[in-house]
Amino acid sequence: MGFDAIWISPIPLNFEGAYHGYAAIDFYKLNPNFGTQEDLTNMINAAHDAGLWVMLDVVANHVGPVGTDFSQIVPFNSSSNYHPEPNPKLEQSTEVQVCRLDNLPDLDQDDSTTRQLLLDWVKGIVANNSFDGLRVDTVEEVKPEFWKEYISEYAGVHAVGEVFNGDLDFVSGYQDYLPGLLNYPLFFTLRNCFISG
Q: Looking at the annotation, which residues are catalytic?
A: 137, 162
Cα separation, 144 vs 29, whole angstroms: 27
Q: Which of 60, 73, 52, 69 is CA-nearest to residue 4? A: 52
- Residue 179: is the preceding peptide bond cis (ω within 30°)? no
Q: What's the Rg (C-alpha) of the chain?
A: 17
Cα separation, 65 vs 114, whole angstroms: 18
Per the CB < 8 A criterion, the answer to whether 137 and 162 are in contact is: yes
For residue 24, the cross-strand partners are 14
